[in-house]
Structure 1
Amino acid sequence: MTSSTSALPSAIDVSTFDHTPSYCEENVYYLCKKLCMIGAAETNGSDLFVVFISNEKKQIPLWHQKASARADGIILWDYHVICIQRSGEGNAPHKVWDLDSSLTFPTPLDQYVSEAIRPSFQLFPEYKRLFRVVHAPIFLRFFASDRRHMRDAVGNWISQPPTWEPIVAEDGTVHNLDEYIRVSTTDVLTDIEDDSIQSLFSQKFGLVASESQLEDLFSFIS
């Protein structure tokens, strides 16, 4: 039996979730687990999707980010990770859970796309964002990070790590973060159709969508 999300409170405070700056992939890993635990998502996480945002240059602009020093919150990440929760009820919006965003928490997907991603903003091609979408139940089984990407050439921390232990995958893998971050325009879906959507629920590294496909993908999933 899975829990229902229909009786949820209208807002959940962001302080409910653990957050370590610069470790968005681990923050989202534990966010998914906690959403399931507190009844804000299905108990098996089947309504949750982990989304890695990056591109071939590893330079992606996002707005309304708390780490930004600018009034509009724009920052250039090498990659970012969010959780999107599929709506299970009528016309209710899909939700974006972004612990690093200054927007409402969670944010309706259409608002997040409009205000944080801003696809209408004219960007040079090298800044166009790609989205690796992974079904949370698969991600929680297979994701692993030993945090090697956060050490400099002599082994010092670039940013202090979380207090919890590094995440090890169910199969014993200790690091595969790079495979989740790595995206290419050649990986992007050529068409959103039944076969593509079904593979999302079986592939370890999910599917890659373009900016113009992200909302359509979740409309199709629902």
Structure 2
Amino acid sequence: MKNTEETGKLKGMMSSPSDASQFTHTPLYCEENVYFLCKKLSEEGIAYADGSDLFVAFISNEKKQVPLWHQKASNRADGVVLWDYHVVCIQRRQESEPSTVVWDLDSDLQFPSPLSIYMAETIRPSFQLFSEYQRFFRIVHAPIFLRSFASDRRHMKDSGGNWVAQPPSYDPIIAEDGAVHNLNEYMEISGCDAVTNLEAGAISPVHIQRLGVVIGQNQVEELFSKI
């Protein structure tokens, strides 16, 4: 991105990491950071071993201009950054009282943050924005994302083939089917693709479709209350 016991209680669920530095993080490579974050949460028992309680959320719009607050990359007091897109992990915890938290490695909020707080402080839906800045979320089930996502990082090179930002030291991510780059399919988000009716039939594709479903910023909390 650029500026412009599986059925029981999980081990460590009540003592999730509070230090984002424990996770792989390369500035401006949020999609890859979230890929490895999902893996680590599952491997360390903070999420289900199969990652079934995790969802990857791509945040963008047609103009590739999405304002988000409380971002570490910001030089402003309010932490606002105008990203072309951003990616976070959302966890729907199935405990005695189900809850939903957001893991955002680029945020200065509590890590992870309750979904309601994250939406209020980072998305700020009550803040009046021009229509071209409205945020849309592509919600993808993490187990599908981890199998299907690929990036050769071509989007981080300029017209001369030079890196816009230093890439991670590890090899590019290749999908299980051999695909080497499909990031563009995830980050291309349009309001006309957004699901407006969040009945059961509309939500079920989240768990089966490679690219999940697209919803508006005001539907995020409703969707996760129904998962």
TM-score range (shorter-chain normalised) is over 0.9
Q: Deviation above 2 Å: which 4+ runs of structure 1?
A: 1-11, 90-93
**Residue number in structure 2 paired with 1:209:** 215
Q: Provide the alpha-carbon RMSD of the alignment.
A: 1.2
**8 A contact 1:96–1:108 mirrored in 2:** yes
1:63-212 aligned within 5 A: 63-212=69-218
Q: CA deviation at 1:90?
A: 3.6
SS in 1 for 2:214: strand
**CA displacement, residues 47-104 of structure 1 (integer Å, 9 cap, x when unaligned):** 0000000000000000000000001100000000000000202434301000000000
Q: Structure 2 residue aligned with 1:33, among 35, 39, 43?
A: 39
- Percent identity over the alignment is 60
**8 A contact 1:4–1:41 mirrored in 2:** no
**CA displacement, residues 168-209 of structure 1 (integer Å, 9 cap, x when unaligned):** 000000000000001111111020011112111110000001
What runs of 5+ residues in structure 2 fail to find an aligned partner? none
Q: Does 1:5 align with 2:16?
A: no
**Residue number in structure 1 paired with 2:61:** 55
Query: Which range is displaced more, 190-199 or 87-96?
Result: 87-96
SS in 2 for 1:213: helix
> How far, CA to CA, are the matches of 2:11 and 2:117 in structure 1?
21
**8 A contact 2:92–2:98 mirrored in 1:** no
What runs of 5+ residues in structure 1 fail to find an aligned partner? none
TM-score (norm 2): 0.94
1:12-27 aligned within 5 A: 12=17, 13-27=19-33
Letter of the structure 2 residue corresponding to residue 82 of structure 1: V
**CA displacement, residues 93-120 of structure 1 (integer Å, 9 cap, x when unaligned):** 3010000000000000000000011000
Count residues with an aligned counterpart.
221
Letter of the structure 1 residue corresponding to residue 74 of structure 2: S
> How far, CA to CA, are the matches of 1:7 and 1:160 in structure 2?
34
> How far, CA to CA, are the matches of 2:13 and 2:93 in structure 1?
13
